[in-house]
Amino acid sequence: MNQNIEITEKDAIDFLMEVAKANGQPTPRVIIVSRLVPNAAYSAQRTVRLALVTTTNNEALLNALIKACLLEENNDIYFVGSDVNLQTDLEVDYLYFETKIFIKQG
């Protein structure tokens, strides 16, 4: 597994937005759901979970994102699951991804 020192949260967001727009999502949004530092005293990286907010019925987009994440070995962004918003007025899905971000020192 590659440890990617160069990736930032902005890089991960831009990557997800780019793939989503290229696959028919006119206005995707990405939100950071959590940041986890496993052991701050011994770790220089954190795990960031991002949610890509898209319209429903997006199987082609999901397939494209999983494929892009597998092929994009420099990003180390992984698909970890999805959730459907069940509110009647909002037809959106949340597609969750995780990546490792190195913590800035100093």
pLDDT tens readout for residues 22-31: 988 888 899 9
Q: Is residue 93 one of the residues assigned to a domain?
A: yes
CATH number of the domain where residue 71 is located: 3.30.70
Q: What is the pTM of this model?
A: 0.77
In a domain, residue 82? The reply is: yes
User: Could you give the number of structural domains in the chain?
Assistant: 1
Q: Note down the domain range covering 94.
A: 9-102
For residue 19, count CB atoms less than 10 angstroms from its CB and return exposed for 0-12, middle for 13-18, buried for 19 or more.
buried
**In this structure, is residue 35 part of a structural domain?**
yes
Q: Residue 76: name the closest of 34, 45, 52, 31 by CA.
A: 45
What gap in Å lies between CA 20 and CA 101, rounded to an integer?
21
Per the CB < 8 A criterion, the answer to whether 39 and 46 are in contact is no
pLDDT tens-digit readout, 52-81: 988 877 788 888 888 888 875 556 888 888
Q: Where are the beta strands (DSSP E) in the chain?
A: 29-36, 45-55, 77-84, 92-102
Residue 1 lies in a domain: no
